[in-house]
């Protein structure tokens, strides 16, 4: 059982969403080299690296907010590692679901979340990152 | 881009509200709803429309069962464990196999692509999403917070 579970629940979401957002903005600003042109033509290596940095930065911000809310200092190193793992697996999930889209020639999975490409497109990174992050959170001493 | 930011500005606080402040059952309900919608999107992407209509119900039922089973497994209630056992004993794999056999040779039968999509939408995605919500730490986490 985990203490402060209601707060720790947010770790996979923070890591994956921050990675997604930073990958998008990093790719738009610095993107030059294609990451996987056959799978997802718009993704760039610079965006992927920005995503990794974004995941880690997101977890550092999360650590600060978590401390402000609960007065419990999470372990800095584990937080950075969780951000990195979330970002790597999140991008893997993103590419995996992009593979399915390219295979079947569709642009978006759905129209429920306009601009985000559907619920599945929004949560594809979380689907990959969540189980591994949960295992790490459950196994290590975060605080 | 403007639309994307607008949706995120509304959606993320709503998601945080449900995950952090709403009761456990609301979180489970949200997860089940997201899994059902995501499952439909996946089936619609990989299957023709008539097969999507035919098999979406099965995938949706499976995902609700999976989320419910994980929810009851971690709910500190007297009747939670028997309910979770009953849901688990339902055997998601058995139900898919039974539907596959019953539909064999008929129009809209479950081919390999449909089978993979149903297993993905009905079992894999809900189980991983349940991990996202840290189902195992819901009750104790809230009790300690």
DSSP A51-116: HHHHHHHHHHHHHHHHHHHH-----HHHHHHHHHHHHHHHHHHHHHHHHHHHHHT-S-S-SSSTTT
Number of H helices and E strands in chain A, helices first, is 5, 2
What residue ranges of chain B have pLDDT lower than 50? 135-145
The reported pTM is: 0.83
Q: With an 8 Å Cβ cutoff, are A5 and B140 in contact?
A: yes
Compute CA distances A108 → A115, B22, B32, B43, whole Å.
Answer: 9, 30, 21, 13
The pLDDT assigned to A30 comes to 92
The pLDDT assigned to A28 comes to 93
Compute CA distances B132 → A126, A131, B4, whole Å.
Answer: 7, 7, 23
**A66-108 tens-digit pLDDT:** 889 888 888 899 999 999 999 999 999 999 999 988 888 888 8
Q: What is the mean pLDDT of residues A3-23?
A: 84
B45 near A CB under 8 A: yes
B53 near A CB under 8 A: no
On whether the CB atoms of residues B74 and B136 are closer than 8 A, the answer is yes
**pLDDT over 80 at A36, yes or no:** yes
The pLDDT assigned to B76 comes to 63
On whether the CB atoms of residues A129 and A97 are closer than 8 A, the answer is no
On whether the CB atoms of residues B61 and B28 are closer than 8 A, the answer is no
- The CA distance from A64 to the nearest CA of chain B, in Å, is 17
Give, for A43, the enclosing helix (H) or strand (E).
Answer: strand A40-44
B116 near A CB under 8 A: no
Closest by CA to B124, choosing from A116, A8, A9, A123, is: A123
The pLDDT assigned to A19 comes to 94
**pLDDT over 90 at A10, yes or no:** no
**Rounded CA gap, B119 and A9, in Å?**
25
ipTM metric: 0.82
Residue of B nearest to A7 (CA): B20
- The CA distance from B83 to the nearest CA of chain A, in Å, is 21
The pLDDT assigned to A61 comes to 95
**pLDDT over 90 at A55, yes or no:** yes
Quick one: tokens of A49?
Answer: 């690296």
The pLDDT assigned to B42 comes to 92
**Mean pLDDT of chain B, nearest integer:** 78
Q: With an 8 Å Cβ cutoff, are B34 and A123 in contact?
A: yes
Compute CA distances B17 → B24, B141, B143, whole Å.
Answer: 12, 16, 17
How many residues make up chain B in this entry? 145
A41 near B CB under 8 A: no
**Rounded CA gap, B128 and B59, in Å?**
15
The residue among B134, B139, B142 with the most chain A CBs within 10 A of its CB, best to mutate, is: B134
**A104-135 tens-digit pLDDT:** 888 888 888 777 778 888 888 888 888 888 88
């Amino acid at each position: 059982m985990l203490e402060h579970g209601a707060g720790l629940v947010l770790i996979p979401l923070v890591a994956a969403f921050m990675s997604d957002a930073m990958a998008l903005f990093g790719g738009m600003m610095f993107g030059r080299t294609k990451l996987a042109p056959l799978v997802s033509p718009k993704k760039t290596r610079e965006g992927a690296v920005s995503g990794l940095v974004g995941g880690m930065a997101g977890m550092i911000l999360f650590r600060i907010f978590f401390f402000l809310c609960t007065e419990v200092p999470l372990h800095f190193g584990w937080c950075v590692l969780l951000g990195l793992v979330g970002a790597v697996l999140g991008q893997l999930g993103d590419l995996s679901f992009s593979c399915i889209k390219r295979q079947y020639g569709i642009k978006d999975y759905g129209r429920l979340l306009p601009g985000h490409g559907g619920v599945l497109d929004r949560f594809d990174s979380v689907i990959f990152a969540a189980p591994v992050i949960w295992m790490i959170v459950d196994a290590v001493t975060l605080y | 881009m403007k639309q994307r930011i607008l949706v995120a500005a509304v959606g993320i606080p709503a998601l945080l509200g449900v995950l952090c402040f709403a009761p456990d059952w609301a979180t489970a309900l949200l997860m089940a709803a997201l899994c059902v919608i995501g499952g439909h999107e996946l089936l619609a992407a990989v299957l023709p429309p008539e097969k999507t209509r035919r098999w979406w119900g099965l995938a949706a039922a499976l995902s609700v069962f999976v989320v419910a089973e994980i929810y009851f497994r971690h709910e500190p209630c007297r009747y939670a464990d028997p309910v979770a056992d009953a849901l688990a004993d339902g055997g998601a794999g058995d139900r898919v196999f039974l539907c596959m056999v019953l539909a064999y040779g008929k129009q809209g039968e479950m081919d390999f692509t449909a089978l993979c999509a149903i297993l993905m939408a009905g079992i894999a995605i809900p189980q991983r999403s349940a991990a996202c919500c840290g189902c195992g730490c819901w009750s104790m986490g809230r009790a300690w917070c």
